[in-house]
Amino acid sequence: MKRIIIFFFTSLITLILMAGITLAEEGKVCIGCHRVVTPLMVKDWQSSEHSDNEVTCDVCHGSEHKSKKTSHLARMPDENICAECHEEQFNQFTKGKHNLGWTSLNALPITHMEPDELMEGGKGCGGCHNMGVKSEAQKKELREKGYTYRTNSCDECHTRHTFSKKEAQDPKACRTCHMGFDHPQWEMYESSKHGVRYQLKEIGRLPKDAAAPTCQFCHLPNGTHTNKVAWGFLAVRLPLPKDKQWAKDQTAILKALGVLDPEGKPTARLDVVKAADMVRLTEEDWQAERKKMIKTCKKCHSEKYATGELEKGDQMIRKTDRLMAEAINIVADLYKDGILKKPTHYTYAYPDFLHFYQTGGSYIEQVLFKMYMKHRMRTYQGVFHANPDYAYWYGWAAMTKSLDEVKKIAKDLRFKKRR
Ligand code: HEC
Ligand code: HEC
Ligand code: HEC
Ligand code: HEC
Ligand code: HEC
Ligand code: HEC
Ligand code: HEC
Ligand code: HEC
């Protein structure tokens, strides 16, 4: 009996050792050749924690390809491969909004009218919206179109092949996507007191214990991978606000987003927007996110201060909605009065923001879209990110200017029609 047990254990140990050797050997083959084929990529990997822990090329890419002619057999690893060793981060990620990047992109009508290179090819919208664990059917569709890369969300903040935690902790890791036209969070943060303090701390002008929140500190607190805020990008919510005027103004915006029809009845697009979690659907949902945020601010500010600052953001959304609704109604009336023709691809003779600049070719629709997508966004995002210049000059001031422009063009159009 004793001999059997000893035999069993020695065999087991031999087996484990053999597995270890083959694993390491497989890796050596890849690395040996790739030192020549892609030398700096191998160096990059060698500086990673993965290299220290024998997570070799084959672990992620499989070992079917081992020669120059078989590179098409190398597997491009999706998030499920990472999940085999990082289940916790994977599970957190799938509960957050980043996991819906691909879904919300595909929910928009415009996406399917633009060049594929900018979508599936990742050179435009798809460059920032590729995140999200994809179904087998979605992956098959992408492969058939010839798009075999960008299959992994995890290398967006800790890029391959260093896969570094430190990189992901730096606000610059968010910068590629959270910048520019409709969501300049990087620019706002960088020049806010929060961001300036962070940068001064980095170069040693402020002591290393100085308080300076990063994007991650506020949005991925305590190392979580679940990101979600109260208002979100569109800054509309359900149920509608109790304030009657505000509810009316948000209804005008919901119509222009096409989730309500011009009569105010829900459309099929509402379900799509709900599925992509683009709006918080209950008061509790909204409050839960707000409370989490205040808890974060409270690590440095008083609760009263933080609550008050965020309420200013809510009030600014209310005030931008007043201007926005006025502009939307002016354009909607032009359709109603037969002064503007319904663009062929619009469902209704009503402004449709989710077609972006693809309108009926009319300038007034473009001014209106920019007012919503660029200036309204900047106003409230600037307030939430403590950036006075974005909130005022690039935001509110630009909105009031756009409203004037909409009024003027509408007047001219009506005048022309009369002649
Ligand atoms: C004898 C040399 C050689 C060996 C061994 C080798 N590769 Fe390659 N590998 C190549 C060449 C050549 C390419 C194509 C490079 C190009 O397109 O410029 C390539 C491409 C790749 C690609 C990219 C495929 C694509 O579609 O872009 C991956 C991933 C890869 N190898 C991983 C591995 C792994 C993992 C191993 C070990 C199991 C391995 N390689 C072993 C030579 C080799
Ligand atoms: C921890 C997992 C992991 C390991 C280990 C790993 N890779 Fe990758 N590799 C990835 C991911 C993720 C991608 C991007 C996949 C995509 O875009 O769909 C990738 C992409 C690639 C590509 C194609 C894209 C490009 O930038 O050219 C090559 C080539 C490649 N890896 C080679 C290697 C080699 C060689 C090694 C070993 C030195 C290695 N990989 C180790 C995860 C890994
Ligand atoms: C076979 C297991 C395995 C796989 C598969 C794997 N990792 Fe890792 N990873 C590790 C180990 C081991 C470490 C070392 C730290 C630890 O123990 O968590 C690590 C560390 C990391 C770190 C932290 C690095 C640091 O600087 O502290 C990141 C980020 C990471 N992996 C991302 C990924 C991503 C993204 C993928 C998929 C493309 C992946 N890993 C696939 C095993 C794995
Ligand atoms: C530079 C990167 C980038 C590009 C390019 C980009 N987006 Fe986005 N998009 C983002 C980010 C970041 C957010 C989240 C912004 C926020 O919440 O303030 C977002 C938000 C969205 C949302 C709202 C999601 C939600 O849940 O509320 C939709 C829909 C969307 N984008 C569609 C598009 C379409 C369509 C295009 C191309 C015409 C596009 N995006 C181009 C980065 C980008
Ligand atoms: C939006 C950016 C972002 C994305 C996308 C992302 N991560 Fe991370 N990741 C981070 C940040 C930030 C940290 C550092 C957390 C901390 O401070 O403890 C981190 C840390 C990690 C670590 C190290 C954990 C530790 O405590 O050592 C692993 C492992 C990891 N991520 C895996 C993943 C995997 C797997 C995915 C894809 C499912 C992923 N990450 C996607 C931002 C990201
Ligand atoms: C001091 C905390 C803090 C920092 C630092 C911070 N944010 Fe925010 N962020 C907020 C608050 C507060 C909101 C609004 C939350 C709400 O809707 O109630 C917000 C909202 C957002 C939104 C949703 C749309 C919007 O702008 O309102 C995105 C996306 C975002 N932040 C990204 C970032 C990025 C990227 C960085 C770094 C470049 C960053 N944030 C830095 C607190 C912060
Ligand atoms: C590859 C591009 C990319 C990177 C890098 C990126 N994000 Fe995002 N982020 C997005 C997109 C796209 C969305 C909108 C997702 C959707 O459609 O629901 C988004 C949404 C968000 C939101 C809004 C959540 C909500 O409730 O509306 C926050 C907050 C956020 N990101 C924070 C971060 C932080 C912090 C980092 C850096 C650690 C980061 N992101 C890095 C693309 C990115
Ligand atoms: C890690 C600490 C930290 C966190 C977390 C933090 N802040 Fe700050 N905040 C500071 C510091 C330090 C200043 C600079 C104070 C000054 O200007 O004297 C500052 C400045 C500000 C300012 C600019 C005030 C001014 O006088 O210019 C506002 C507004 C603000 N914070 C709001 C918030 C809100 C809202 C949150 C939560 C969403 C938050 N902060 C989270 C540390 C923090």
Per-residue pLDDT for the chain (419 aa), expressed as one digit of tens each? 455 555 445 454 444 444 444 556 778 999 999 999 999 999 999 999 999 999 999 999 999 999 999 999 999 999 999 999 999 999 999 999 999 999 999 999 899 999 999 999 999 999 999 999 999 999 999 999 999 999 999 999 999 999 999 999 999 999 999 999 999 999 999 999 999 999 999 999 999 999 999 999 999 999 999 999 999 999 999 899 999 999 999 999 999 999 999 999 999 999 999 999 999 999 999 999 999 999 999 999 999 999 999 999 999 999 999 999 999 999 999 999 999 999 999 999 999 999 999 887 799 999 999 999 999 999 999 999 999 999 999 999 999 999 999 999 999 999 998 87
Would you say residue 33 lies in a domain?
A: no
Alpha carbon distance, N-terminus to C-terminus of the chain: 107
Q: Which residue has the tokens 């087996």?
A: 15
CB 201 within 8 A of CB 212: yes
Among the listed residues 79, 177, 166, 88, the one whose alpha carbon sits nearest the alpha carbon of residue 124 = 177
Please give the Cα distance from 54 to 331 (Å, whole number): 62
Q: Are residues 94 and 143 in the same domain?
A: yes
Would you say residue 308 lies in a domain?
A: yes
> Which protein residue's CA is at the shortest distance from atom 4 of ligand 6?
215
Distance between Cα 88 and ligand 3 center (Å): 12
**Reported pTM:** 0.96
Q: Are residues 365 and 399 in the same domain?
A: yes
Pocket test for ligand 4, best of 110, 118, 176, 183 (most atoms within 8 A of CB): 183
Indicate which ligand has the atom closest to the C-alpha of 163.
3
Would you say residue 303 lies in a domain?
A: yes
Q: Give 174-221 pLDDT, tens digit per residue.
A: 999 999 999 999 999 999 999 999 999 999 999 999 999 999 999 999
Atom of ligand 2 at shortest range from CA of 56: 5
Q: Are residues 106 and 240 in the same domain?
A: no
Which residues, judged by CB distance below 6 Å to any ligand atom, belong to the binding site of ligand 7?
A: 97-98, 100-101, 104, 128-129, 131, 156-157, 173-174, 176-178, 215-216, 219-220, 227-229, 232-233
Please give the Cα distance from 195 to 188 (Å, whole number): 8
Decide whether any atom of ligand 8 lies within 6 Å of the 398 Cβ.
no
Please give the Cα distance from 135 to 165 (Å, whole number): 27
Q: Give 101-118 pLDDT, tens digit per residue.
A: 999 999 998 999 999 999
Q: Where does a domain end: 169, 193, 211?
A: 169
Distance between Cα 111 and ligand 6 center (Å): 26
Q: Are residues 159 and 279 in the same domain?
A: no
Pocket test for ligand 2, best of 35, 41, 155 (most atoms within 8 A of CB): 41
Residue 171's contacts (CB-CB under 8 Å, 6 or more residues apart) are 186, 189, 190, 195, 198, 214, 215, 216
Q: Are residues 280 and 150 in the same domain?
A: no
Residue 148's contacts (CB-CB under 8 Å, 6 or more residues apart) are 76, 142
Would you say residue 5 lies in a domain?
A: no
Would you say residue 66 lies in a domain?
A: no
Rg of the chain's alpha carbons, rounded to an integer? Answer: 26
User: What pLDDT shows up at residue 176?
Assistant: 97
Q: Where does a domain end: 169, 189, 210?
A: 169
Q: Are residues 306 and 368 in the same domain?
A: yes
Would you say residue 288 lies in a domain?
A: yes
Would you say residue 34 lies in a domain?
A: no
Q: Are residues 102 and 139 in the same domain?
A: yes
**Within 13 Å and on the Cβ side, how many CA atoms surround 228?**
23
Distance between Cα 113 and ligand 6 center (Å): 31
Domain residues for the domain of 152 are: 85-169
Q: Are residues 144 and 204 in the same domain?
A: no
Would you say residue 253 lies in a domain?
A: yes
Among the listed residues 236, 246, 239, 271, the one whose alpha carbon sits nearest the alpha carbon of residue 372 = 236
Instruction: Count CB neighbours of 342 within 10 A.
Output: 13
CATH number of the domain where residue 380 is located: 1.20.850.10
Decide whether any atom of ligand 4 lies within 6 Å of the 273 Cβ.
no
Q: Are residues 150 and 236 in the same domain?
A: no
Q: Give 124-169 pLDDT, tens digit per residue.
A: 999 999 999 999 999 999 999 999 999 999 999 999 999 999 999 9
Q: Are residues 118 and 203 in the same domain?
A: no
| Number of domains composing the chain | 2
Q: Are residues 138 and 244 in the same domain?
A: no
Q: Are residues 152 and 265 in the same domain?
A: no
Among the listed residues 276, 247, 281, 287, the one whose alpha carbon sits nearest the alpha carbon of residue 264 = 247
Four-residue CA torsion sign, 152, 153, 156, 161 = negative
- What is each CA distance from 294 to 301, 305, 380, in whole angstroms? 9, 10, 17
> Which protein residue's CA is at the shortest distance from atom 38 of ligand 8?
297
Distance between Cα 74 and ligand 1 center (Å): 7
Decide whether any atom of ligand 1 lies within 6 Å of the 26 Cβ.
yes
